[in-house]
Structure 1
Amino acid sequence: MIPDSPQLPTPPAPEADSLDLVKSRARWRAAFFSMTAAAVALSAAVGVLLLTPTPKAGGPHAAASPTTSSPTPEADEESATEPADVATEEPTPAAETCVGKKYEAATDRDVKKLERTADDKLGTCLVIYGEITQFDSATGKTSFRANVCGSKRYPEYGFLSDCDTNAMFDIDPAAEKAAAELVNGDVVEMRVSVAGTLTYETTIGGSMTVPKFTAYKLHKYATTK
């Protein structure tokens, strides 16, 4: 009698995956596919950027920038012929001259009054006399200072007495030649027009306002030197 062969143990059947493991794998797959889709979208966006042409300078899409046009020869010629607009001061009306007018004789009193009234006597044409007291580098070649009066006087002992109204004179071009021969101390007959008053600084730091004249004719007839 043949003995029965031994019975081998039956291997256990594999256990079915638990429900939690199945859910975990499902979530992992979903995350994987989501990341893959995001990577694909990112790659596509980068590709679009790389393929988009960059606008060239001066192209139709370039930003407008201020430009400076070079001057043309015609513009240079026009600017050379047309004077630039420059702010200028209005010329001061010149004092009335004595050309063609009669010179009036003046008394010493008349001349003294001009210390106060010269601005009211503009353009008055007078014959006056006086001693030149300053005609140097400070006054220049076209003006001088003198002590004047209305009467013709001659110096005595190197001094011209009773002729002491301090005044300033501008020299008209008609009198420049005669003025060039004058020096301090000369006694002169002058044909002048009243030009108002002038305020100047003294050597001691003060100021003085004196009558001002324009001299048209100058004639030296004596000297205190």
Structure 2
Amino acid sequence: MKFVIHDRNNAIKVIDSDKDQDSVVKGRFVQDVLYELASKNSMEFIGWCHKDLEDFINHDQLNSIFHHELIMASYSTTGDYEIPEAIGYIENSTTFLNVKPDVNYPTWLMSSDIGGMHAMVILKFENLKGSTKTSFDGFLNHISKTALSEGLFCYSSPGLLKKDSVSIESRQNKINLFYFVRHHYRSRWLPLLFLDYLLYEK
């Protein structure tokens, strides 16, 4: 399985979990490198990993986590995501159940800390290639939220990392939350979300 190592904004290099080799891809959008890898390796899973977590990738668990093509999995080392819990004002689901962070559970919330999906899933969203409007976390959440209704299984999978891994600070973003809601929900939810922010998120 190939991993794009990144600094959250840009790709740094690509590593292969099956081979002792890597290639440098500095200064490019992470999603662009994912598309390139997917197009060249259309029958494989492609992963991503923050540079500070590279040494903690749990290579022994990858095959058991990604055991069929319709799985997308990631793990947030802090339990926080770019999309804040305020999405719960309009999201009628179990997205923010109080689940222990060390267990595998279904969720469309994806993290750029570490994760992976099959190349065929990545290639379905080639329209997002090179987008400067969407952060990498936003890109991942767009795929999971959209493809979930099309049969994609999305999980938080702590087994992606070894147990002694470090934590990566998440960057929650209110602007990206509103952008995400505008794209994935009916427009009537935007003013309601804004009102909830004024009342409860001071």
The TM tier, using the shorter chain, reads under 0.3
Greater relative contact order (CA < 8 Å, ≥ 6 in sequence): 2
Q: What is the TM-score of this pair, normalised by structure 2? A: 0.23
Q: Which has the higher strand share?
A: 1
Q: What is the TM-score of this pair, normalised by structure 1? A: 0.22
Q: Which has the higher helix share?
A: 2
